[in-house]
């Protein structure tokens, strides 16, 4: 984006108006009113509708005011029509505004506590850290104290968040395509090597047959001419010996070439096997990263119809006591706020860097589940943690990284596993401690 969707605020040219031109009490009451969707800058409607309203809800609402078919229209057509309704105002814009207010009533009440732009920005930054983007975005954009700088800051954060999610998926896809192309090249190379081996084998067999035929011919000639002189026979034997030696040299050469080709083919096969293993690991890692991105995106941009979508996505955490060992201070603070907001308790232990390891052994028996990111915990702490958990019968599960996305994906799998007969126990981790 080369320019922001709206210009920065300018200095008020009427700051020194006369007393007679001061705003009336009615004007002050109107200025404290929340902004409606149709009153926002037209460039903001796309981000507000795309971030704060799901496609399913738009399919129910937009066809009431347009000629689109809710069953056959594409997602882009539905989104585009909703933006046009917001720009045009009228009944469609009022319906969209009402849907936003009803869905995010809790966030609007929470943001009403802000009495100036600084307090409003503080609330917005807290929402960014916790990942509660859609409710906070609408509450900020419609807030009566939202200045143009505040709205521009919120718009920029949401705009860059969409770029980050898309860039992560594109990078994983590019790596997968490169590995598949390299694998195809190795397959073609092995096929060429095998074809060359077959040719060398055929040449060697032909040379052996030719040597045998010459030996038989000479034997027959010697039998037909018994009266030849000893000198002639010696010369003939010498020629035959030379031809046999030449055949043996050629046979040895073809044999060495054949062995070298077999060694190269074996090396190529081992490299291909290693690349296939890497490709399998990359595909497994890509599935895990895609699942984490999807879980994080559902928790931030594609909220459910409940007013507080993040609480519904984290409903398994409610009433649970989770022990989190390792990780980084920044992500641990965000995880603690997510769990506490969902009604759970998160006990964080750094694995023995600053906290004593005895405190970890004392906290484990009362935990519902123990989580540890394998990229931010040492091997001694991880082995000790597994032994203590098995001794006390506490479920434990490794996380791929110490990121918020890995934690949200783990909770999403727990929510999906509640339909099984063993509901409430952690599902097997999608990350393998040995193979990744």
End-to-end CA distance of the chain: 38
Angle at 39 between CA 136 and CA 32, to 5 degrees: 70
Measured between alpha carbons, how far is 285 from 400 in angstroms, rounded to an integer? 9
Architecture of domain 169-300: Orthogonal Bundle (1.10)
Is the domain defined by 314-417 classed in CATH 3.40.640.10?
Answer: yes
The tokens describing 92, both together, are 């469609």
Measured between alpha carbons, how far is 37 from 76 in angstroms, rounded to an integer? 20
What is the domain partition of the chain in residue ranges?
19-164, 169-300, 314-417
Give the model's pLDDT for residue 193. 92
Let me know if the fold of 169-300 is the same as that of 314-417: no
Give the model's pLDDT for residue 292. 63
Phi, psi of 347 (to 5 degrees): -100, 115
Q: Is the pTM of this model over 0.75?
A: no
The tokens describing 422, both together, are 């063993």
| Tens digit of each residue's pLDDT, the chain (436 residues) | 344 554 443 333 333 334 343 344 444 344 568 988 888 888 888 988 888 988 888 898 889 899 888 888 898 898 999 899 889 888 988 988 999 999 899 988 988 988 898 888 888 988 888 888 899 889 888 889 888 888 888 888 888 887 776 665 566 666 776 787 888 889 899 999 999 999 998 998 998 888 888 888 888 876 765 555 778 888 888 889 898 988 899 999 989 898 998 899 889 889 988 988 888 887 777 777 766 666 665 555 444 445 454 555 567 788 888 988 888 888 888 888 888 888 888 888 877 666 666 677 777 777 888 998 988 887 887 888 888 888 888 888 898 888 888 888 888 887 777 655 444 455 555 445 444 4
Give the helix, strand, coil percentages of the chain, each rounded to 5.
70, 5, 25
Measured between alpha carbons, how far is 79 from 91 in angstroms, rounded to an integer? 17
At 314 the three-state DSSP class reads coil
Kindly give, in sequence order, each residue whose CB lies less than 8 Å from that of residue 195, ignoring residues fewer than 6 positions away: none
> Do 3 and 41 meet the contact criterion of CB atoms below 8 Å apart?
no
């Amino acid at each position: 984006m080369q320019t922001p969707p709206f210009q920065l605020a300018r200095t008020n040219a009427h700051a020194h108006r006369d007393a007679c031109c001061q705003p009336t009490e009615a004007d002050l009451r109107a200025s404290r009113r929340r902004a409606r969707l149709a009153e926002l800058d037209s460039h903001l409607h796309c981000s507000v509708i795309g971030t704060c309203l799901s496609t399913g809800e738009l399919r129910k609402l937009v066809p009431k005011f347009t000629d689109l078919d809710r069953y056959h229209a594409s997602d882009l057509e539905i989104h585009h029509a909703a933006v046009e309704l917001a720009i045009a105002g009228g009944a469609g814009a009022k319906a969209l505004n009402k849907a936003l207010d009803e869905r995010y009533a809790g966030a609007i009440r929470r943001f009403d506590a802000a009495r100036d732009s600084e307090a409003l920005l503080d609330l917005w930054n807290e929402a960014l850290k916790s990942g509660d983007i859609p409710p906070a975005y609408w509450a900020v954009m419609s807030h009566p104290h939202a200045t143009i700088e505040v709205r521009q800051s919120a718009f920029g954060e949401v705009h860059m968040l969409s770029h980050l999610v898309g860039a992560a998926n594109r990078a994983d896809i590019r790596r997968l395509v490169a590995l598949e192309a390299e694998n195809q090249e190795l397959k073609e190379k092995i096929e060429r090597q095998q074809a060359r081996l077959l040719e060398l084998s055929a040449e060697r067999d032909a040379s052996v047959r030719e040597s045998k035929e010459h030996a038989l011919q000479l034997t027959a000639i010697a039998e037909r001419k018994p009266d030849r002189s000893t000198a002639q026979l010696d010369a003939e034997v010498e020629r035959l010996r030379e031809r046999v030696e030449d055949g043996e040299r050629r046979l040895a050469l073809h044999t060495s070439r054949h062995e070298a080709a077999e060694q190269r083919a074996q090396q190529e096969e081992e490299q291909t096997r290693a690349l296939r293993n890497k490709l399998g690991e990359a595909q497994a890692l890509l599935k895990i990263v895609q699942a984490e991105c999807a879980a994080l995106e559902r928790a931030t941009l594609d909220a459910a119809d409940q007013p507080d979508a993040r609480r519904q996505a984290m409903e398994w955490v409610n009433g649970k006591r989770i022990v989190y060992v390792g990780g980084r201070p920044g992500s641990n603070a965000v995880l603690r706020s997510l769990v506490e907001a969902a009604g759970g308790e998160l006990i964080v232990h750094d694995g023995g860097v600053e906290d004593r390891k005895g405190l970890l052994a004392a906290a484990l028996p009362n935990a519902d589940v123990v989580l540890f990111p394998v990229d931010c915990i040492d091997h001694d702490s991880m082995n000790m943690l597994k032994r203590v958990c098995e001794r006390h019968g506490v479920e434990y599960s490794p996380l791929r990284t110490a990121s918020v996305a890995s934690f949200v994906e783990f909770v999403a799998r727990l929510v999906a596993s509640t339909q099984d007969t063993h509901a409430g126990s952690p599902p097997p981790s999608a990350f393998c401690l040995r193979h990744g």
